[in-house]
Amino acid sequence: MVNYTLLGLSGSLRQTSANSKLLLEAARLSGGQFVQADLRLPLYDNDIEDAHGLPDEVQKLVRQVSQADAVAISTPEYNSGVSGVLKNALDWISRADVKPWTDKPVVLMSAAAGRSGGARALTMLRSCMVPFRAQVISGPEVAVADCNNQFDESGRLSPRYEKSLAELMKGLASEAAR
């Protein structure tokens, strides 16, 4: 599959988020058509779901995951785990009648200011993906440390991490082609 649709989920809502920059670099290296999901969702609340069903924004996100050929998820590390924004989105998606993640090729990555680059958040994210039965590509692991200094003024990732990201995206493209 030369051209495929790649959906990006950034666990950070910040305008200048390193995780969103990392997703843009992943998209550039993948060669796929890129769509960035909007994770500005209401907090998961079973009372809302019971009264009104899934909110429109959540239904859109579920459709996006379903329709994408592959998904890239990038998370910051907050208090040794994934961001609340990302966990909330995963919780909402889990409530859908369809199971959009099943056998979906997915890559996980992180960018964090600390020296581990979000490695603990990646471990937690991997655990969060288990119930979805996604086809999570195992590596190479991309955990961008000191993330605020790893992108140049045009948003390009430093060569230190670009090689691993390119290899990860090559693996994703291979899985998406199956």
**How confident is the model at residue 52, as a pLDDT?**
95
Q: pLDDT for 47-88, tens place per residue?
A: 999 999 999 999 999 999 999 999 999 999 999 999 999 999
| DSSP result, the chain | --S-EEEEEES---TT-HHHHHHHHHHHHH-SEEEE-----PPP-HHHHHHH-S-HHHHHHHHHHHH-SEEEEEE--BTTB--HHHHHHHHHHHTSSS-TTTT-EEEEEEE-SSTTTTHHHHHHHHHHHGGGT-EE---S-EEESSGGGSB-TT-PBPHHHHHHHHHHHHHHHHHHH-
Contact 120, 137 (CB under 8 A): no
Average pLDDT (19-48) is: 95
Average pLDDT (122-146) is: 95
Average pLDDT (161-165) is: 97
Mean pLDDT of the chain: 95
Average pLDDT (97-115) is: 96
- Please check the confidence at residue 32 and state whether its pLDDT lies above 90: no
What CATH number corresponds to the domain at position 166?
3.40.50.360
Q: Which domain holds residue 105?
A: 5-177
pLDDT band (50, 70, 90) for residue 177: confident
pLDDT band (50, 70, 90) for residue 1: very low
Q: pLDDT for 108-127, tens place per residue?
A: 999 999 999 999 999 999 99
**How confident is the model at residue 118, as a pLDDT?**
92
**How confident is the model at residue 2, as a pLDDT?**
57
Average pLDDT (5-34) is: 95
Domain count, the chain: 1
